[in-house]
Amino acid sequence: MKKILIFGMGYVGQHLARALEGKYEVVGTSRDATGQTKIKWNVGESSAEIIEQISQADAILCSIPPNDAGDLAYMEFGEQIKKSNVKWIGYLSTTGVYGDHQGGRVDETTPLNAQNARAKKRVMAEAQWSELVSAATDKISTERSVHIFRLPGIYGVGRSAFEALKAGRAKRIDMRLKNGHKHFFCRAHVDDIVQVIVASLDKQLAGTNIYNIVDDLPAPQADIVAYAAALMGTKVPELVTEQQADMSDMAKSFYSECKNMQNDKINNELDVVLKYSTYKQGLSAIWQQMNS
């Protein structure tokens, strides 16, 4: 059985591990967990156990947010990875690397224009992982491929508008673009993110491959909250202005950008058909799971 090492066994990593059962032995790192499938690793620390796992791995996926110097796993273990037999490397990035397009269409060929510190770090991390292919010199490294998955807002069971509504913290903010149109976000159900990663592992395409993983229906956050509230049979929160919303700096940075992400490449190259092509399908499935 093949082995995949996941740096940062978080929400996506745990879902991916379940999807790979029977196909891959999955080992993941975590800051606070140990066990058969998890290795405790604090950023900045070397780890003989992780180096051993790298030497045995066929694939590596990194989902750890970078710092000012770039990707943490790359900086700590990049040399070991370069010398390893790892053929497939995946990196979970963000659609934030494109910057703001005021609702305009964006695909994988759109020039990067990161406009906040978090996104600029992601651009740096993408370049670091891509270097493992672009700087290939020997047979092993020339057979290696890098797959960058640019993710929007991620939702799924335990991570959706339902939790915000139940906790009484869901907001419906009436935000507008410069042209007067409603501000909208793209999003992806975790199951669709996982199926794209699995398809990439199965295809093993050469070189550096970049994919936007988003659904087909960008929508205002207010619409998502309203739809979830309707499914729950609870009162729909009133629309509020940006000033009334009293958003954190983090939230403001998300609302400062708007782009219509295109996802044709995941179908054209990986033959992926989304399970949840709209937030309505995704939320309805989550609500059914929560009540089954």
**pLDDT digits 0-9 by tens, 100-152:** 999 999 999 999 999 999 999 999 999 999 998 876 556 556 689 999 999 99
Q: Give the residue ranges of the chain where pLDDT is below 70.
A: 33-37, 43-44, 135-142
Q: Where are the domains of the chain?
A: 87-290
* pLDDT tens readout for residues 192-216: 999 999 999 999 999 999 999 999 9
Q: Which residues, 6+ apart, have CB-to-CB distance to 235 below 8 Å? A: 229
Report the alpha-carbon distance of residue 136 to residue 87 in Å, rounded: 12
Q: How far is CA 43 from CA 32, 40, 67, 243, 275, in A?
A: 12, 10, 10, 38, 35
Alpha carbons within 13 angstroms on the beta-carbon side of residue 228 total 25
**What pLDDT, on the 0 to 100 scale, is given for residue 76?**
92
CB-based burial, 138-152: b 16+ in 10 Å, e otherwise: eeebeebbbbbbbbb
pTM score over 0.85: yes
> Residue length, the chain?
292
Report the alpha-carbon distance of residue 236 to residue 176 in Å, rounded: 20
87-290: CATH number = 3.40.50.720
